[in-house]
Amino acid sequence: MKWSVNFYSDSVKKSIMDWPIGINAKFVWIIELIQDFGPNKIGMPHIKSFGQGLFEVRAKGKEGIGRAFFCIVVNKKIIILNGFIKKTQKTPLNEIELAKKRMKEVNKNG
């Protein structure tokens, strides 16, 4: 059974699909790897664990770096919680907090 990848909301999907083409292409490629092999088989440099069930897709293109947080729910289902274009070395705390808040919501609603 393949993994399914869904977005937290249409606005999350739209914001990621609006990324510059090179970053978006890398994101889509990583998502296809996740669907075929599962996130546990991929790892760095494409996926990083933030602990407590929160993971990050690390998409890099010539235009810059995109990040998208996701969590895993039952039956090989992944939810992309939020995404952003990275502008600094460190991941913005507000993006991590937003992802954690949405992950709690997703896991509660199951």
* 108 — pLDDT class (breaks 50, 70, 90): confident
Total of domains in the chain? 1
Please name the helix (run of DSSP H) or strand (run of DSSP E) that holds residue 96, with its range, or none: helix 93-109
CA-nearest of 72, 67, 94, 97 to 83 is 67
Q: Beta 4-7 vs 77-86: how paired, if at all?
A: parallel
pTM of the predicted model over 0.85: yes
Give the CATH number for residue 73: 3.30.2310.20
Structural domain of 9: 4-109
User: Tell me: the pLDDT tens digits for 39-92?
Assistant: 889 989 999 999 999 999 999 999 999 999 999 988 889 999 999 999 888 889
